[in-house]
């Protein structure tokens, strides 16, 4: 492995602070001087139960989670939740509303459609998802509104969540622990860890128990039922122990650095710096026109030749993970909770040299 600094702007899995990786590496060999690797510890051992409890408490504390919410941890990614949330919330004949804001909203629509009916309230496909759709409706027939809080691929983010008078199902995979959650109108909020609070392998789900269907109304396998995971305190089956520990370390780091308000300020500072350089640069243009994301900054050059030149210039300066999603092209700088401001300043300098 090279010792040279890499500036990693990858959309996820994303970077973690060196001290978190160092602690994780130590635990992989010998967890807290137990003589055991964190990867060989039983998920039912007191050691693991205590770290799981600490991580759960940290989520509750950082988000001031109300008492009628349960925090559960499940193995796997957020994609599963796109299907599991509607399974847990909708009876036969009921539907979920969506705002088709980009790639992840479309994925969610398709996942729900496999199980229940969907109602699309607005779409920005006509604008190639360069802005969030305008919501003109006055009536929503569905029981819930699903929102992709931040469209990771297109670089669009709600500054405030729209209100159609229905509880929200929030996919916060790319802006979890970066912004507040309006708990008074949320049914479910979820995010996988590999962008903002850990490594791939685990997902955190906040469940408003007031909205869970009665047992008699749920006709799904136990493993998909949120009630199962709540009843077993996330230990119904083997939670991936190492990813869970990495999330705990990441959560401790977030708390020590000032919590969600500070993460929010950092995200604003990083993205403002970068958008300013892009907006003032003669050879660069922002791809998104409105509701520009603080997490994923998407931009392009004026010509294909310049795109090639910029790609090389970035590569020569060890800036990696910054190519746009293949269907969109251009560039996308992803800057989650652990992205140091110094790396963004360096990227700005390199762009200004171009
Ligand atoms: N939702 C959003 C907004 C995402 O950005 C992603 C992944 O990038 C997902 C869902 C899917 O997450 P996972 O890859 O953990 O299944």
Catalytic annotation, pick one of 143, 166, 195, 294 = 195
State the pLDDT at residue 3. 58
- Same domain? For 79 and 195 the reply is yes
- Give the number of the atom of ligand 1 that is nearest the alpha carbon of residue 192: 15
Concerning whether 175 is annotated as a catalytic residue, the answer is no
* pLDDT confidence tier of residue 147, bands split at 50, 70 and 90: very high
pLDDT more than 70, % of the chain: 99
Domain assignment present for residue 9? The answer is no
Element (H, E) at 282: none
What integer pLDDT is reported at residue 1 of this predicted model?
43
Q: What is the pLDDT of residue 70?
A: 98
- pLDDT score of 218 more than 90: no
Nearest protein CA to atom 12 of ligand 1, as residue: 78
Tell me the percentage of the chain whose pLDDT exceeds 90: 94
> What CATH number is associated with residue 171?
3.40.640.10
Is 11 a member of any domain?
no
User: Is pLDDT at 93 greater than 70 in this prediction?
Assistant: yes
Examine the domain organization and report whether 201 and 286 are in the same domain: no
Give the mean model confidence (pLDDT) for residues 138-147.
93
Kindly state if the Cβ of 174 falls inside 6 Å of ligand 1. Answer: yes
Does residue 214 carry a pLDDT above 90? Answer: no
The last residue of a domain, from among 196, 231, 256: 256
**How many domains are contained in the chain?**
2
pLDDT in tens, 66-84: 999 999 999 999 999 999 9
Ligand 1 in reach of 78 Cβ (< 6 A): yes
| H or E stretch at 211 | none
pLDDT digits (tens, 9 = 90+) for 273-328: 999 999 999 999 999 989 999 999 999 999 999 999 999 999 999 999 999 999 99
pLDDT, averaged across the chain: 96
Per-residue pLDDT at 137: 80
290 catalytic? Reply is no
Report the nearest atom of ligand 1 relative to the CA of 150: 3
- Of the residues 171, 175, 294, 300, only one is catalytic, namely 171
Over range 142-148, report the average pLDDT. Answer: 98
For residues 230-247, average pLDDT:
97
pTM of the model: 0.97
Substitution site in 83, 132, 174 for ligand 1 pocket (most atoms within 8 Å of beta carbon): 174
SS (H, E, C) 31-66: HHHCCCCHHHCCCCCHHHHHHHHHHHHHHHHHHCCC
8 A C-beta contact, residue 99 and residue 145: yes
**Domain assignment of residue 145, yes or no:** yes
CA 126 to chain centre: 25
Q: What pLDDT, on the 0 to 100 scale, is given for residue 138?
A: 73
Residue-wise pLDDT for 27-54, tens only, equals 999 999 999 999 999 999 999 999 999 9
98, 120 contact by CB (below 8 A) = yes
Query: Is the pLDDT confidence value at 97 over 70?
Result: yes
DSSP string, 107-175: HHHHHHHTTSEEEEEEE-GGGTTSSPPP---S---SSEEEEESEETTTTEE-SS----SS-EEEE-TTT
Let me know if residue 6 belongs to a domain.
no
The reply to whether 161 and 266 lie within a common domain is no
Q: Does residue 195 carry a catalytic annotation?
A: yes
Domain boundary (237, 256, 275) is at 256
Whether the pLDDT of residue 205 is over 90: the answer is yes
Q: How confident is the model at residue 4 (pLDDT cuts 50, 70, 90)?
A: confident
Query: Which atom of ligand 1 lies at the shortest distance from residue 149's CA?
Result: 3
Given pLDDT bands bounded at 50, 70 and 90, which one contains residue 139? confident
C-alpha to C-alpha distance for 173 and 188, rounded to whole angstroms: 13
Check pLDDT > 60 for residue 13.
Answer: yes
Question: Is 309 close to ligand 1, i.e. is its CB under 6 Å away?
Answer: no
Q: Is the CB of 171 under 6 A from ligand 1?
A: yes
The answer to whether residues 225 and 291 belong to one domain is no
* 336-349 residue pLDDT tens: 999 999 999 999 99
- Domain range for 277: 259-353
* Nearest protein CA to atom 3 of ligand 1, as residue: 173
| Residue 123 in contact with ligand 1 by CB distance below 6 A | no
Residue 173 CA to ligand 1 center (angstroms) comes to 6
Burial of 184 from C-beta contacts in 10 A (0-12 / 13-18 / 19+): exposed
């Amino acid at each position: 492995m090279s010792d040279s600094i890499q500036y990693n702007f990858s959309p996820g899995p994303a970077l973690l602070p060196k001290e978190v990786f160092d602690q994780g590496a130590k635990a992989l060999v010998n967890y807290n001087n137990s003589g055991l690797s964190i990867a060989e510890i039983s998920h039912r051992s007191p050691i693991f139960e205590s770290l799981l409890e600490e991580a759960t408490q940290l989520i509750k504390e950082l988000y001031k989670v109300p008492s009628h919410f349960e925090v559960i941890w499940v193995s796997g990614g957020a994609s599963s939740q796109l299907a599991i949330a509607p399974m847990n919330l909708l009876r036969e004949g009921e539907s979920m509303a969506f705002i088709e804001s980009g790639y992840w909203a479309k994925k969610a629509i398709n996942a729900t459609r496999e199980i229940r009916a969907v109602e699309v309230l607005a779409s920005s496909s006509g604008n190639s998802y360069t802005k969030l759709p305008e919501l003109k409706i006055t009536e929503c027939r569905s029981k819930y509104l699903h929102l992709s809080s931040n469209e990771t691929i297109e670089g669009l983010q709600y500054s405030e969540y729209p209100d159609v008078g229905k509880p929200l199902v929030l996919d916060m995979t790319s802006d979890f622990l970066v912004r507040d959650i309006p708990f008074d109108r949320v049914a479910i909020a979820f995010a996988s860890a590999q962008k903002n609070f850990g490594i791939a392998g685990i997902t955190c789900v906040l469940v408003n128990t007031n909205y869970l269907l009665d047992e008699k109304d749920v006709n799904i396998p136990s493993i998909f039922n949120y009630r199962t995971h709540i009843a077993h305190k996330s230990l119904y089956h083997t939670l991936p122990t190492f990813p869970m520990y990495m999330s705990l370390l990441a959560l401790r780091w977030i708390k020590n650095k000032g919590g969600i308000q500070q993460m929010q300020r950092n995200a604003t500072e990083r993205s403002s710096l970068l958008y300013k350089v892009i907006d003032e640069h003669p050879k660069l243009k922002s791809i998104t026109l409105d509701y520009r994301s603080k997490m994923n900054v998407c931009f392009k050059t004026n010509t294909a030749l310049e795109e090639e030149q910029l790609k090389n210039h970035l590569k020569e300066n060890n800036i990696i993970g910054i190519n746009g999603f293949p269907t969109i092209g251009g560039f996308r700088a992803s800057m989650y909770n652990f992205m140091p401001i110094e790396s963004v300043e360096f990227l700005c300098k390199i762009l200004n040299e171009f």
